[in-house]
Structure 1
Amino acid sequence: MTLRALIARLSAVAALTLVTLVPGPAQAEEPIPPFYQAPATLPASNGDLIRSENLDILINPSKLFGVRSTATRVLYRSTDRTGAPMAVSGSVIVPEKAWAGPGRRPVIGYAVGTQGIGDSCAPSRLFSELLEYESIFMSGLLARGYAIAMTDYEGLGTAGPHTYMDRKSQGHAVLDIVRAAQRLPGSGLSTANPVAFYGYSQGGAGAASAAELAGSYAPELKVRGTVAGAVPADLRALPGAIDGSLYSEFTWYAIAGLSASYDLDITTYLNADGKEMFEQMQDNCVFDLFGSAFTQSSDYTADGASLGQLIEREPFRTMIDDQRIGRIRPSAPVLVTHSLLDDVVPHRVGKQMVRDWCDRGATVRLSTNATPLHVGGMLNNATEVYGFLEARFAGLPAASSCWRL
Structure 2
Amino acid sequence: MGSVVTARVRRSAAAVVTASAVAVSAVLAGGGHAAAAEGSLEGSTVGSSIVTQGPVQPGAVDPFYDTSGVAPSRVGEILRTQPAPYSGILGNGSPGLPTSVDKIMYTTEDADGKLTPVTGYVLEPTVPWHGEGPRPTVVIVRGTVGQGDHCAPSRNWPLDGQPDPVYTGRTVNLEGNYDMMYASQGVRVVVTDLIGMGTPGLHTYMNRKDQAHAMLDAARAARELVESRGGQFGKVAVYGHSQGGGASAAAAEAQPEYAPDVNLVASYASAPPADLIKVQDNIDGSDLSGVIGFVVNGLKVRYPELGEIIEANVSPAGRDALEKVTNMCTNDIMREYDGVYTREWINGDRTLGELANEYPAARDAIDEQFIGNGTPQVPVMIVSGRYDQNVAYDQAKVLARAWCAKGVPVVYRDDILPPLSTYNHVAQAVSGGAFGIPFVIDAFHGRMPAQPTVCTNFDGNLGSSAADLSSAVSSLPLSSGLVPPGVETGMSSGTQGSGRL
Structure-2-length-normalised TM-score: 0.74
How far the C-alpha of 1:44 sits from its partner, in A, is 2.0
C-alpha distance after superposition, 1:53-92 (max 9, x if no partner): 0011366547343333241101111011111111101111
Instruction: Determine the structure 2 residue equivalent to 1:22.
Output: none
C-alpha separation in 1, matches of 2:44 and 2:295: 24
CA contact (8 A) 1:242 1:344 kept: yes
Change (3 A) 1:107 1:297: same
CA contact (8 A) 2:103 2:120 kept: yes
Matched, 1:157 2:198: yes
Alignment of 1:217-232 (within 5 A): 217-232=258-273
2:364 alignment partner, one of 318, 329, 349: 318
1:108 alignment partner, one of 127, 138, 143: 138
Structure 2 gap segments, 5+ residues each: 1-20, 27-33, 47-55, 165-172, 459-501
CA contact (8 A) 2:123 2:188 kept: yes
Change (3 A) 1:295 1:243: same
Matched, 1:270 2:321: no
Change (3 A) 1:302 1:217: same
CA contact (8 A) 1:110 1:148 kept: yes
Instruction: Determine the structure 1 residue equivalent to 2:110.
Output: 80
2:215 alignment partner, one of 171, 174, 188: 174
C-alpha separation in 1, matches of 2:149 and 2:22: 33
Alignment of 1:113-262 (within 5 A): 113-126=143-156, 127-128=159-160, 129-131=162-164, 132-184=173-225, 192-262=233-303
Matched, 1:402 2:455: yes
C-alpha separation in 2, matches of 1:275 and 1:257: 15
2:443 alignment partner, one of 362, 369, 392: 392
**What one-letter code is carried by the residue in structure 1 that aligns with 2:411?**
R
How far the C-alpha of 1:268 sits from its partner, in A, is 3.6
C-alpha distance after superposition, 1:80-105 (max 9, x if no partner): 11111111011111112232322211
**What one-letter code is carried by the residue in structure 2 that aligns with 1:280?**
K
Q: Could you tell which deviates more after superposition, 265-274 or 232-241?
A: 265-274
CA contact (8 A) 1:336 1:350 kept: yes
Instruction: Determine the structure 1 residue equivalent to 2:81.
Output: 52
DSSP-derived class of the 2:282 partner: helix
CA contact (8 A) 2:72 2:116 kept: no
Instruction: Determine the structure 2 residue equivalent to 1:300.
Output: 345
C-alpha separation in 2, matches of 1:390 and 1:274: 44
CA contact (8 A) 1:73 1:92 kept: yes
C-alpha distance after superposition, 1:366-389 (max 9, x if no partner): 011241321121122221123212
Alignment of 1:324-339 (within 5 A): 324-339=370-385
**What one-letter code is carried by the residue in structure 2 that aligns with 1:92?**
V
Instruction: Determine the structure 2 residue equivalent to 1:23.
Output: none
Instruction: Determine the structure 1 residue equivalent to 2:30.
Output: none
Larger Rg, first or second structure (1 or 2): 2
Structure 1 gap segments, 5+ residues each: 20-26
C-alpha separation in 2, matches of 1:67 and 1:203: 23
C-alpha separation in 1, matches of 2:456 and 2:58: 51
CA contact (8 A) 1:111 1:151 kept: yes
C-alpha distance after superposition, 1:98-118 (max 9, x if no partner): 323222111001111101000
RMSD (CA atoms): 2.5
DSSP-derived class of the 2:278 partner: helix
C-alpha distance after superposition, 1:118-173 (max 9, x if no partner): 00001111132343322123211111111011110010001111000000000000
Change (3 A) 1:320 1:113: same
Q: Could you tell which deviates more after superposition, 182-191 or 370-379?
A: 182-191
C-alpha separation in 1, matches of 2:216 and 2:119: 13
C-alpha separation in 1, matches of 2:298 and 2:394: 24
C-alpha separation in 1, matches of 2:394 and 2:230: 38
Q: After TM superposition, what 4+ stretches of structure 1 lie above 6 angstroms from structure 2?
A: none
Q: Could you tell which deviates more after superposition, 346-355 or 366-375?
A: 366-375
Instruction: Determine the structure 1 residue equivalent to 2:332.
Output: 288
C-alpha separation in 2, matches of 1:394 and 1:68: 21
Identity %: 29
Q: Which has the higher strand share?
A: 1
C-alpha separation in 1, matches of 2:312 and 2:203: 20
CA contact (8 A) 1:337 1:367 kept: yes
DSSP-derived class of the 1:150 partner: strand
Q: Could you tell which deviates more after superposition, 64-73 or 77-86?
A: 64-73
Q: Could you tell which deviates more after superposition, 270-279 or 332-341?
A: 270-279
C-alpha separation in 1, matches of 2:44 and 2:293: 24
CA contact (8 A) 2:175 2:429 kept: no
How many corresponding residue pairs? Answer: 397
